[in-house]
Amino acid sequence: MTGTLALGIDIGTSGVRCVVLDQDGDAVASEGQAFADHAVDPRDPIGWGRLADTAMHAALATVDRNAVRAIAVDGTSGSVLAVDAAGTPVAAPLMYDDAVADTDVLDRIAAIAPADTAAHGVTSGLAKALLLQGAPGVAHVLHQADWMAGRLSGCWTVSDENNALKTGYDAVARRWGDWIYASGIRPDLLPDVVPAGTVVGPIRRSLATRFGLSDDVRIVAGTTDGCASFLATGAKDIGDGVTVLGSSLTLKLLSDRPIVSPEHGIYSHRIAGGWLVGGASNTGGRVLAAYFGADQLTALSSRIDPDRAARLDYYPLLAKGERFPVADPGKSPRLSPRPTSETDFLHELLAGIAAIEAQGYARLQALGAPALRSVHSVGGGAGNPIWTAMRQRTLAVPFLPARSHEAAAGAARLALLAITPSRTGSDRNQIDPHVRSNRQEAPVGVPKIRGEA
């Protein structure tokens, strides 16, 4: 195997996964390690590192290690941890789904933060940083992906624009907002923020030796798991959309301008030469699972005529309340009348969710996003061909196959882009000067990794 290779690491909610892409963006190796299989606490950073080591060794075993040129990491959005000067965690991390219960902290942010910042709410990254800055020995407050990248590079002072968003970073102005310091956060704890895909520095020599990699492998500023999942599909042009058909319905669209609508939970991530915008509805697979088992869904779907229009105006929800495409905490489910035929009932449910998907993309366009030009589908529902046909008839745009469903592949794609000459011929394989100065000032000491001398 020849040519340039890039490796992506995904620290997910259930485990760690690595994917290696070749220079054409095709996956040539993949390996996953589940937390449950190794009795690893999902909140244990040392456990993240141990599983990442195992997954990397396995993924690299089948490729030409000398061809690997860059590594990037994605992590769960809003997961924050405090570390000392050597990068060692000094407190338990506060994870993406942890709710901050300290009302004083939340009220302080609410009183000073602009309405359009993603730092509001009980899962705010800034609120978590304010709590963690009191940990004994804290020198840096980092996000999950930052810490894993630091473990590889030895640089503990850098974050990317996507992970920093919920901590109060202004992606439009490309700096920490002036208001953030009035919250009481210690400025010296905040990382320097660079665009996702910026080369941070070379891999630590000891790790290069351990994994059989070249010393000039570049560690690249990563992104969030959501952004990585978008990149993994191959979506890359303005107007490309990705629909995630999981337990909920999530839409993502690459826009040429930022779109912010806090009431719909819409914020903009700067990535891939544009802005990733989107929203999440409370409809989705959880509604289907409340009525049908997996085998029943498959059997009944095969009897549906995807060209027949819906006869009922369903809005499938399990309970009151909707976030997107309408922000209405009092919105009630609409699931009646119920047909006597189970096939017809499923047909109406699938059509109702497809209609919400169409309304969601229309909402994004109404808020200023470009018109939808194509859709990649991921998640469990993407494997239902009848539903896919129904959705395509509703949206009336090309449906393109996803190159990968793995967030790690999106991180690898980001790493690959970082070392690929741009269209203008300039080489992005350079350490950002701002990052270089940070790295030189970082402590020489780094956390010991299991088995490291």
- Domain 238-400 in CATH 3.30.420.40? The answer is yes
pLDDT for position 422: 58
Q: From CA 226, how far away is CA 60, in angstroms rounded? A: 25
User: With contact defined as beta carbons under 8 Å apart, do 321 and 328 qualify?
Assistant: yes
pTM listed for this prediction: 0.90
Strands of 218-367 (E only): list them: 218-224, 240-245, 249-255, 269-271, 274-281
Backbone angles phi, psi at 242, to 5 degrees: -130, 125
CA angle 159, 165, 171 (to 5 degrees): 90
> What residue ranges of the chain are covered by domains with CATH 3.30.420.40?
5-226+407-441, 238-400
pLDDT tens for 191-229 read: 999 999 999 999 999 999 999 999 999 999 999 999 999
pLDDT tens for 113-155 read: 999 999 999 999 999 999 999 999 999 999 999 999 999 999 9
| Residue 404, number of CB atoms within 10 A of its CB | 23
107 or 1, higher pLDDT:
107
pLDDT tens for 154-179 read: 999 999 999 999 999 999 999 998 99
User: With contact defined as beta carbons under 8 Å apart, do 294 and 378 qualify?
Assistant: no
Q: Please tell me what DSSP assigns to residue 236.
A: -
Specify the residue for token string 């950002």.
Answer: 432
User: With contact defined as beta carbons under 8 Å apart, do 148 and 48 qualify?
Assistant: yes
Q: Mean per-residue pLDDT for 59-63?
A: 97
In the predicted model, is pLDDT for residue 450 greater than 70? no
Q: From CA 231, how far away is CA 407, in angstroms rounded? A: 8
Fold of 5-226+407-441: Nucleotidyltransferase; domain 5 (3.30.420)
Least confident of 96-105, 260-269, 370-379, 404-413: 260-269
Backbone angles phi, psi at 214, to 5 degrees: -70, 150
pLDDT for position 443: 30
Alpha-helical segments (H) within 223-341? 225-232, 285-289, 294-301
pLDDT for position 272: 87
In the predicted model, is pLDDT for residue 434 greater than 60? no
pLDDT for position 435: 46
